[in-house]
Amino acid sequence: MGAMFAAFFLAVVLCLSSSSNGLTTNYYQKSCPSAESVIEKAVRKGAANDKTVPSALLRMHFHDCFIRGCDGSVLLNSSRTEKKNQAEKDGPPNISLHAFYVIDIAKKEIEKTCPGVVSCADILAIAARDAVSISGGPKWEVPNGRKDARTSNADDTKMLPFPTFNIAQLQQSFSQRGLSLDDLVALSGGHTLGFSHCSSFQNRIHNFNRTSQVDMLLEPSFAASLRSVCPMHNKKKNAGAFLDATPTKFDNDYFKQLLQGKSIFSSDQALLSSPKTKALVMKYAASEQQFFQAFTESMIKMSSINGAGTEIRLDCGVVNHQ
């Protein structure tokens, strides 16, 4: 009975979120019924060849939605002739984004049967969902109907929340996009997948403040291991750390690690600095089921942020000719 109520409640939330901006879960039911299966196949194949693909796709979708809404602008390539006209994917926070080829493969296959129908923004939203589900996480109905943007600016990546943000900065960043503190904690749980380069958490393990080299909120042996992997003058390009102990499995381990002083980013640790967000961290650490439900609801909400899209791109990396 409880499971039935949870499913009903989620359906109500989904309906409300999708009807507010024209997105619907049956958007391609008649125009391209095979779209979702094609996308899932591409994601599964990509993940089979590279275990980092799921985390890459989830992060890519997040970065897309946080800059002018979910409009596929993160997928556009920079101009080859104008160095000043750099796209979002070449902005500093996005240089480490990868697995764009998975979206391109899905788009190419979809165009064979449904030309000019499925937007790149929708493909990315569905791929992010599939990235979570094939990694052991929840699966939900994705509201679709997004349009693709014709503009993408590297400077706009400054709008993304930084891994050094405190709780006030995080709250402001999320609220500007219509997302709550509840959404902040739930979506932060996406860090259960993935890896970070040293530069994103260097501030916590070297020259932290005037009295300590290391953030004292880090568990000592964990801090020592991070310092070993990322020395002060690190010269290894790919050096870094996984974001939790099960980096390829979507679970609630991120929250458990956070409570043990084993978080990677300052922004992760910040979730324990507010009574409300700390309570949510404890709740999700204790119940993976409750985390999955909250993450699902927040993902639907985030992926429904209105974008500036006006077209259905034929090639996800390039705007259509007019």
- As a whole number of angstroms, the distance between CA 313 and CA 138 comes to 29
* 291 Cβ contact list (under 8 Å, min separation 6): 186, 189, 252, 255, 283, 284
Q: Which of 63, 191, 233, 321 is catalytic?
A: 63
160: CB partners within 8 A, 6+ apart: 63, 66, 67, 93
What does each C-alpha distance from 156 to 88, 225, 273, 298, 310 come to in angstroms? 7, 34, 28, 23, 19
206 part of the active site: no
Paired tokens of 241: 């750390």
- Report the interhelical angle of 275-286 vs 288-302 (nearest 10°): 120
3-state secondary structure of 307: coil
The span from the CA of 152 to the CA of 87, in Å, is 5
Q: Which tokens hold the place of 288?
A: 């993976």
User: In this structure, which amino acid lies at residue 111?
Assistant: E
d(CA 134, CA 287): 20
Cα 204 from Cα 108, distance rounded (Å)? 43
Comparing C-alpha atoms, which of 53, 32, 192 is closest to residue 130?
53
**Angle 135-186-180 (CA atoms, 0-180°, nearest 5)?**
150
Per the listing, tokens 């997302």 go with 179
Query: Measured on CA atoms in the order 306, 307, 310, 313, is the torsion positive or negative?
Result: negative
How many residues in the chain?
Answer: 322
Catalytic residues: 63
